[in-house]
Amino acid sequence: MPRVKRGTKRRQRRKKILERASGYFLTKSKLHRAAKQAVERGLKFAYSGRKQKKRQYRSIWIVRIGAASRAQGISYNQFISGLKKAGVELDRKILADIATNDSAGFLALCETAKRANEKAKAA
């Protein structure tokens, strides 16, 4: 079997890991094996964190919409249900933005949702 001399490739690979690990505590930023484990762990948390961020933003939007809709005398689930019945296709991100920045527009949406709910009850 032929002998393999890694040369610059090995140094490049180790350097890349140590650069990613800069700022870690003690040997995690200096020794390759410890740095590699720490970097892999950090990348795993970064991946799951990107997924969690989406969940957290959605829950924040729901809280904001719920608070604004309760101020108008309608619960969150009645508000969302009424908008769907009325055919309003705004996502929660946009609804939360309207709730915080445009109170008149949100009031109009609440009235639309209330009318749609009453219309559905009557039918």
Nearest to residue 83, comparing CAs of 52, 38, 8, 99? 99
Please, what are the domains in the chain? Answer: 8-122 (1.10.1900.20)
Please tell me the distance from the alpha carbon of residue 74 to that of residue 82, in angstroms, as a whole number: 10
Quick one: pLDDT band at residue 84, thresholds 50, 70, 90?
very high
pLDDT tens for 34-79 read 999 999 999 999 999 999 999 999 999 999 999 999 999 999 999 9
Kindly state the average pLDDT of the residues 3-7: 84
Is this model's pTM higher than 0.85 or not? Answer: no
